Structure formats: C-alpha cells, structure tokens
Amino acid sequence: MPVIVSTPGRVNLIGDHTDYTQGLVLPMILDVVTTITGDFTDDRVWHLVSDDEPLPVTLSLPIDDPARIEPRWGRYVAGVLHELEKTGVSLRGFSGRVSTTIPIGSGLSSSAALEIAVARVATIDRPMPETVLAQLCRRAEHVASGVPCGIMDQLCIAAGQPGHATLIDCRDLTIEHVSIPSAITVDVEFIAPRTLAGSEYADRVAETSAVERIIGPLRDASLESLTAIADETLRRRARHVISENQRVLDFVAALRRANWTEAGRLMTESHWSLRHDFETSNATMDAAVERTLRRPGVLGARMTGGGFGGCVVALRSVE
Ligand code: GLA
C-alpha cells in the first residue's frame, strides 16, 4: 500500500533564541506542507526524488556518516535514518518522492518538516511519541546542517495543531495548545532568503553558554542577575533571553484576556530585543517590520525564527 505523509512548516509568534537555553517558545504550524509519497521495498535502500532538487538521494542502510551524503539535501534524510537506527529501530527500504509547498530557505522550517516526514514514514508501523521524534530529528538537523539548533521547530511540527499556537517549555518539553481567536489573524511575509549554516547562530549559542557559566541557567535568571555579567555584549544577550521568556508568558496571558493590542506590542518589543540585544536582525528585516507596522489593522510585527533574514510575522486585527 502506498504511503503518504505530510508535515507542516512553522512560524514562531514569539520566543526566539530561547529554546536552546531551555526557555519558552510559541510557534504555530502553517498550512504549507512537505509531503512524502512512496512504497516500502524489500531491500535496505532509501531512494527519494524531490520536486525541488535536481539530484535524487540513494542511501544504503546502515548509514555510516550522514554529514558526508551527497546531494546535500540527502543529509537530512540520512541524519534521521541514522538516528533511528541508533535507537534500535529496524528500518525497511523505501522508494518515493518528496514535494513541498514550504518555501525553502525562508525560515519556515522546511528542513525540520522533511526530517519529521522521514521519521514518520520510517516509523509508520510503530509511531513514536512526538517528543522522542522531535529530539531525534533535532540531532539529525545538527549533523546534517552543522547548526546547533534548539527543539522548537521539530517539536512544533511534530505536535502542533491547526488554529492553535504551540506553547513549548523547552526544559521539560511540555506543550500547551493555545487557541488563536478568530478576532485576530497571523500574517507571514517572506522578506529575504537566509541560511543559518555559517551564520552567527552558532555564536549566539556559544554566547548564551558563556552567560550561563557566569549566572547559571538563563531559564531561572532574572533581570537583576545581569549586573553580575561584566561583558557588555554578554549582558545584552542575557537580557534578550530573560526578557523574551517573560514576553512569551505575557503574550499568552494577553491572548487569554483578549488584549490584542498588548499581544501586538509584545511582538514588536521582541523584534527590537532581537535587533538591539541579540543582534540577529539586519537593516532589511528592520525596514520590513517598520513597513508591516504601518499597515491597517496590524497590532505588532517581528522577524521570526533564527534571524539574519527570513520572514516577518505580524498580528492583525480582523474586526
Ligand atoms: C531556528 C532554530 C530554532 C530556534 C530559532 C530561534 O529556527 O532551528 O531551534 O533556535 O532558530 O528561535
């Protein structure tokens, strides 16, 4: 019987660069999807063609080193299969096709969607809990892209529900589905292509580790602890993470009180924190946020995701 698995892209409403220090995030799944169709085979070979890539991927199991697979998009597939094999899952061969409506390189997590789709296909007979799947795919992403990402994208894609944002506590991986009321809508606009590989993303991960060596876990830190950080740059990095965790909580509370103005204000504040304190924005993204904020009904806007390009997400009143 042919297999069909679809996984969505995601956008982050608020809570960026908080996941890899066990903080809070509030992403939501989108209605763009990656789909894998195909059939299991009797050999131990995965063969995938992609509508968006010129070269197919052929992988013989077991996979030795996913980071050396060519073409490069095969590294995400290989990374997932490699991680599954490490957990003792016995894999069958598969031959199929990948297609996607998630714009690639736009910061809407096309790679995490591919990872979760591959994992879902490979475990179709014995599904795994979403948190296990997400952690495994996060490790695959590290190997495939070299980017030391957090858990947000994979877990949101694995567990998100339509019409809801996914409040994730990245410390214990608990999830709360927060309904998006019909009085507001979420707009996502692609601004500039970006890749996190080779960007300052890994530097930010290292900087937050350096901060934690001084003041302990950022998740437990308060703004008062900033005075213990002598280095001005590290102090700003810490201020972003500590204030962003609070903004996620405040944003959810504002949604629940139907205070859309406050929710929008928090989103815009998050952007300026990313701009000034975390320095993951740039002039193009700042200009796009300013432009979005001038549109009718827009309550707040920010760059979303890893940064250095990608998309702007905005909250708009539909009344
Ligand atoms: C990328 C990473 C996520 C997260 C965001 C920033 O999307 O994959 O883990 O760190 O950047 O919030």
Structural domains of the chain, ranges and CATH numbers in brackets: 3-169 (3.30.230.10), 180-317 (3.30.70.890)
19 is an active site residue: no
Asked whether the predicted pLDDT for residue 63 surpasses 90, the reply is yes
Instruction: In whole angstroms, give the CA distance from residue 108 to residue 128.
Output: 24
| pLDDT tens profile 127-178 | 999 999 999 999 999 999 999 999 999 999 999 999 999 999 999 999 999 9
Phi (first) and psi of residue 69, to 5 degrees:
-70, 140
- Regarding the beta carbon of 149 and ligand 1, being less than 6 Å apart is answered yes
Residue 35's pLDDT band (cuts 50, 70, 90): very high
- Regarding the beta carbon of 141 and ligand 1, being less than 6 Å apart is answered no
Give me the DSSP letters along 234-264.
Answer: HHHHHHHHHHHHHHHHHHHHHHHTT-HHHHH
- Regarding the beta carbon of 305 and ligand 1, being less than 6 Å apart is answered yes
Instruction: In whole angstroms, give the CA distance from residue 46 to residue 38.
Output: 10
Q: Which amino acid makes up residue 221?
A: A
Asked whether the predicted pLDDT for residue 6 surpasses 90, the reply is yes
User: Which H/E stretch holds residue 207?
Assistant: helix 201-215
Residues 6+ apart with CB under 8 A from 114: 7, 34, 73, 76, 77, 98, 100
Mean pLDDT (whole number) for 211-234: 98
Amino acid 52: pLDDT: 95
CA of 96 to the centre of ligand 1 (A): 29
252 with 26: CB under 8 angstroms?
Answer: yes
| Cis amide leading into 62 (omega within 30) | yes
Ligand 1 pocket: which of 139, 141, 149, 277 to mutate (most atoms within 8 A of CB)? 149
| 42, 51, 52, 153: the active-site residue | 153
- Regarding the beta carbon of 8 and ligand 1, being less than 6 Å apart is answered no
Closest CA to 22 of 255, 244, 232, 270: 244
C-alpha angle 157-162-168 in degrees, rounded to nearest 5: 50
Q: Which amino acid makes up residue 275?
A: R
- Regarding the beta carbon of 20 and ligand 1, being less than 6 Å apart is answered yes
Tokens for 232, please give them: 């001005």
Mean pLDDT of the chain: 97
- Regarding the beta carbon of 113 and ligand 1, being less than 6 Å apart is answered no
Classified as helix, coil or strand, 22 is: coil
Ligand 1 pocket: which of 11, 13, 16, 168 to mutate (most atoms within 8 A of CB)? 16
The sign of the CA dihedral 223, 225, 231, 237 is negative
Asked whether the predicted pLDDT for residue 195 surpasses 90, the reply is no
Ramachandran quadrant class, 88 (left: phi over 0; alpha: psi -120 to 50; beta: rest):
left
Residue nearest to ligand 1 atom 8, measured at CA:
149
Q: Compute CA distances 218 → 20, 75, 229, whole Å.
A: 10, 32, 12
What ligand 1 atom has the least distance to the C-alpha of 306? 11
Residue 104 CA, distance from chain mean position: 13
- Regarding the beta carbon of 17 and ligand 1, being less than 6 Å apart is answered yes
pTM of the model: 0.97
CA of 71 to the centre of ligand 1 (A): 24
Residues of the chain by 3-state class (helix, strand, coil), percent to 5: 40, 25, 30
Asked whether the predicted pLDDT for residue 319 surpasses 80, the reply is no
